């Protein structure tokens, strides 16, 4: 029930106007969203961690705003070093206006990223955008084979998506959007089982899995599947949220595993925060804790 409430709040403009200015929401935002992306990236890089920078732009409704999103990504890329990753939401590039527009804008970002040795990951969003997302990804891979894409385990089609993405860089997450009951799993246990099915497919494939969860049990399952599939530590990575479970980051890196930390920033932080809380309701407690 709490998940559905939080996802409804994520979509409500009225709730955003009220909650985005409230002290508790701002305190939580500071936990997850970087006020200074460049500083956060530098700090994490100094710690020997990889980064994935996520520009939180809003869905665009005209071409000028889509171009604005492209320019924001180009400015971001200018300050990133080789090995970094950027997450790109197709709706911020004009997907709701035209798939071709989003594809062209994504291609511009991919070309700029490639020149700096930075990878691009297309981020999954609402269920009705997934087909277009996969189409854009398939087209971009022809010129940019390293471009990644997100698969959300809460959708019933997730395992089949992973099979069809053989050889690709795939970021697997649980997912934090709504969908009709026929298209999604209904319980947390079902989502976890879907996550493990997807993990098994990705670990036994020839692509590059990015395991985006801070669920300790799923992290342990990832390690077991990597051993069983004979996958070297350099052939996959964990992705963890910023300022969440730093001890787990240290534990994984001490084992010689690749760890990438998500660095979200930008004006569209409110819906991101609500979706984050919907996926991890326990994070609400962080509003009561001092910064570490």
Catalytic annotation, pick one of 123, 169, 231, 249: 123
Q: Residue 289: which residues within 8 A CB-CB, separation 6 or more?
A: none
Q: Enter the DSSP assignment of 220.
A: H
- pLDDT at residue number 167: 97
Maximum pairwise Cα distance, the chain: 51
User: Is residue 196 within 8 Å of 222, Cβ to Cβ?
Assistant: no
- pLDDT at residue number 142: 97
Examine the residue annotation and report whether 123 is marked as an active-site residue of this protein: yes
Q: Which of 204, 165, 173, 169 is nearest to 191 (CA)?
A: 173
pLDDT one digit per residue (tens) for the chain, 292 residues: 666 666 666 566 776 676 777 777 777 777 778 888 889 999 999 998 999 999 887 678 899 999 999 999 999 999 999 999 999 999 999 999 999 999 999 999 999 999 999 999 999 988 999 999 999 999 999 999 999 999 999 999 999 999 999 999 999 999 878 889 999 998 999 999 999 999 999 999 999 999 999 899 999 999 999 999 999 999 999 999 886 778 899 999 999 999 999 999 888 777 777 777 766 666 665 554 444 4
pTM: 0.89
Backbone dihedral angles phi then psi of residue 275, each to the nearest 5 degrees: -70, -40
Strand partners, 120: 86
Structure tokens at 38: 């460049």
Examine the residue annotation and report whether 59 is marked as an active-site residue of this protein: no
> Other CB atoms closer than 10 Å to residue 160's CB: what's the count?
13
Q: Enter the DSSP assignment of 89.
A: -
How far apart, in whole angstroms, are the C-alpha atoms of residue 205 and residue 275? 30
Catalytic annotation, pick one of 31, 89, 96, 171: 171
**Torsional sign, CA 142, 143, 145, 150:** negative
- pLDDT at residue number 251: 93
């Amino acid at each position: 029930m709490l998940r559905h409430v939080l996802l409804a709040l994520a979509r409500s403009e009225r709730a955003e106007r009220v909650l985005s200015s409230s002290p508790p929401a701002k305190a939580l935002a500071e936990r997850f969203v970087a006020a200074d992306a460049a500083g956060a990236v530098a700090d994490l890089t100094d710690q020997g961690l990889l980064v994935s920078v996520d520009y939180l732009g809003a869905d665009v409704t005209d071409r000028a705003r889509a171009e604005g999103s492209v320019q924001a990504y180009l400015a971001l890329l200018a300050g990133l070093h080789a090995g970094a990753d950027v997450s790109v939401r197709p709706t911020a590039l004009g997907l709701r206006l035209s798939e071709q527009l989003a594809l062209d804008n994504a291609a511009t970002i991919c070309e700029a990223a490639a020149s700096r040795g930075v990878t691009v990951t297309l981020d999954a969003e609402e269920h009705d955008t997934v087909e277009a997302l996969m189409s854009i990804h398939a087209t971009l891979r022809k010129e940019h084979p390293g471009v990644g894409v997100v698969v959300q385990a809460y959708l019933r089609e997730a395992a089949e998506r992973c099979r069809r993405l053989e050889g690709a860089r795939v970021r697997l997450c649980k997912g934090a959007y709504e969908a009709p009951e026929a298209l999604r799993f209904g319980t947390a246990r079902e989502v976890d089982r879907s996550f493990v099915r997807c993990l098994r497919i990705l670990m036994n494939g020839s692509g590059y899995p990015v395991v985006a969860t801070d669920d300790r049990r799923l992290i342990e399952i990832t390690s077991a599947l990597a051993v069983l599939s004979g996958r070297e530590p350099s052939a996959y990575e964990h992705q963890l949220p910023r300022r969440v479970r730093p001890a787990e980051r240290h534990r994984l890196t001490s084992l010689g595993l690749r760890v990438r930390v998500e660095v979200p920033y930008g004006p569209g932080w409110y819906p991101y925060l609500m979706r984050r809380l919907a996926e991890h309701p326990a994070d609400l407690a962080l509003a009561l804790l001092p910064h570490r």
